[in-house]
Amino acid sequence: MLHHALTLNNHEANQRAQVPMYDLLDIACAAQAALEHEKISDKEYAFKHVLNRVFGYMTPEAKAEFNEWVDRKGWRAKEAIILSTT
């Protein structure tokens, strides 16, 4: 399991989100699909779908912590900014 050092305070860590059952079903189906797909691109698409659905229910504090954790792991896609010289 991929754990991280929790930096949310006790109140933030214990906040609850109401997730509609249809969204939970969609997340579960996408996660299972990601496990079953053979093509890496299909796996990635399904996992990104799961992340997007879950991310939508997270508090701003939890989103910030998630982003910090991804950055610490070095998993954020590096973006190059190319400035025009003309």
**Where are the chain's structural domains?**
16-68
pLDDT in tens, 16-63: 888 999 999 999 999 999 999 999 999 999 999 999 999 999 999 899
**CA dihedral defined by 43, 47, 49, 50, rounded to 10 degrees?**
140
What global pTM score does this model have?
Answer: 0.69
Which parts of 3-76 fold into alpha helices (H)?
A: 10-13, 21-36, 40-55, 60-73
62, 8 Cβ separation under 8 angstroms: yes
CB-based contacts of 43, cutoff 8 Å, min separation 6? 34, 35, 37
For residue 29, give the amino acid letter: C
